[in-house]
Amino acid sequence: MNVAILSASRKVWLVQAFQRALVAIDGGRVWALDCDRYAVALHTADAAEFSPRSDAPEYLDWLLDWCGREGISLVVPTRDAELALLAGAAERFLRAGVRVVVSPAGGIALCRDKRRFGEFCRARGFATPAELTAEAVTAFPVFVKPRCGQAGLGTQRIGSEEELRGRGFDPEREILQEFVADPEFTIDVFVDWEGRLISAVPRERVRVVDGESVVGRTVRDDELAEAAGRLALALGLRAHATVQAFRGPGRIRFIEVNPRFGGGAALGFAAGCPTPEWLVRLARGEVLEPRVGQYTTGLWMFRHTTDLFRREVTANEAAGAPGFDPWPIDPNSERIRS
């Protein structure tokens, strides 16, 4: 089986997780795709290809044709901006024998629009931080975030009325909320294609950089896991999703849901819920047994950067110097390695 990771960027951990999954089952290759020739994941996959941007008119036709040429069975989107596009084309890909790892479009739209997400949650009994209007704020601090944002961009803690007035607030594009000081958790949830909850692994976001957990630990919190699983099912999500929530004494308040692999998802893999392997098994026609509650608690993750070296060579030059993999510099080359 061959797997394609879209917008692979720096997601080396995800490429490696699918490589381990294929080795554990029946082999195959993991392809990394990106429109940026400097994306490091292109150099760590079994093979890599430059792709058009996902907003290019020809993108879907190109991707479907490429999947057919390379025998791809599983396509894994990783970026919010491409989820809705691929959800709309998922049936077309499936008819061609390619499973796109994406939730239905309706659930993706709810997760993308954080105001609609909050309204959806509250209407179904899932608590969220209270949404405020600028005129109704009586206590500070408060919290401002984009209505449709990602990676923590545009979020800000506002400490006073003067700061709020000086900053300004756009109620159409932004959300104003009460500031919550409770610890923040992510729950990695996995739902199979039939809508059965397979796992829910809570982890504390001990340290967060640019919206991604860089230090975290798994915890035993059955109430939090159960609530996150119910929310994912209510949204109609499938495959891997990351549910974020504040957890205080006797209370859970949901922040957002990302219907894709999150940056700290590798902690859940290591704790005993290897969802990339489960996706490969589902693609092979296997049926998964639910594993809710079956994971290692007290497991810490410390994420870090590392260096990768490639020797620059021309397209006609032989293999690089010993100890270095060659990197073709032909600007017309679509493929880095195969």
Are both 190 and 297 inside the same structural domain?
Answer: yes
Is there a contact between 175 and 145 (Cβ–Cβ < 8 Å)? yes
Q: What is the pLDDT of residue 321?
A: 46
Provide CB contacts within 8 A for 2, sequence distance 6+.
28, 29, 30, 31, 70, 71, 72, 73, 74
In a domain, 124, yes or no: no
Rounded to whole angstroms, how far apart are CA atoms 87 and 74?
A: 14
Nearest Cα neighbor of 246 from 179, 200, 199, 196 is: 179
Are both 320 and 333 inside the same structural domain?
Answer: yes
In a domain, 121, yes or no: no
Are both 190 and 269 inside the same structural domain?
Answer: yes
Is there a contact between 108 and 84 (Cβ–Cβ < 8 Å)? yes
Are both 82 and 193 inside the same structural domain?
Answer: no
Are both 195 and 287 inside the same structural domain?
Answer: yes
Q: What is the pLDDT of residue 335?
A: 53
Are both 297 and 311 inside the same structural domain?
Answer: no
Q: Which domain holds residue 90?
A: 2-102+307-337
Where the chain has pLDDT below 70, the residues are 151-152, 313-338
DSSP 316: T
In a domain, 227, yes or no: yes
pTM, 2 dp: 0.91
Nearest Cα neighbor of 99 from 289, 258, 284, 287 is: 284
Structural domain count of the chain = 3
In a domain, 118, yes or no: no
CATH number at residue 67: 3.40.50.20
Compute how many other C-beta atoms are within 10 angstroms of the C-beta atom of residue 17.
22
CATH number at residue 193: 3.30.470.20
Are both 252 and 157 inside the same structural domain?
Answer: no
Burial class (CB in 10 A: 0-12, 13-18, 19+), 232: buried
Q: What is the pLDDT of residue 315?
A: 54
In a domain, 249, yes or no: yes
Is there a contact between 216 and 205 (Cβ–Cβ < 8 Å)? yes
Rg of the Cα trace of the chain?
21
DSSP 121: H
Are both 298 and 321 inside the same structural domain?
Answer: no
Long-range CB contacts (< 8 A, 24+ apart) of 203-209?
203/264, 203/267, 203/268, 203/271, 203/301, 205/244, 205/264, 208/152, 208/184
Is there a contact between 295 and 310 (Cβ–Cβ < 8 Å)? no
Are both 186 and 273 inside the same structural domain?
Answer: yes
Beta strand spans in the chain (E) = 2-5, 29-34, 47-50, 72-76, 99-100, 131-132, 142-146, 156-158, 174-178, 184-191, 197-209, 212-218, 239-248, 251-258, 300-302, 310-313, 325-328, 335-337
Provide CB contacts within 8 A for 123, sequence distance 6+.
none
- Amino acid found at 166: G
Task: Return phi, psi of residue 308, to 5°.
Answer: -130, 135
Question: pLDDT tens across 180-218, in order?
Answer: 999 999 999 999 999 999 999 999 999 998 888 899 999
Are both 263 and 298 inside the same structural domain?
Answer: yes
In a domain, 45, yes or no: yes
Q: What is the pLDDT of residue 328?
A: 53
In a domain, 154, yes or no: yes
Is there a contact between 80 and 258 (Cβ–Cβ < 8 Å)? yes
Distances (CA, A) of 325 to 34, 155, 315, 318, 337: 19, 41, 13, 11, 10
What the block records as the tokens of 226 is 């159960």
Are both 297 and 278 inside the same structural domain?
Answer: yes
Q: What is the pLDDT of residue 260?
A: 98
In a domain, 117, yes or no: no
- Entry field: residues in the chain: 338
Longest distance between any two alpha carbons in the chain, whole Å: 69
Cis, bond preceding 141 (omega within 30 deg of 0): yes
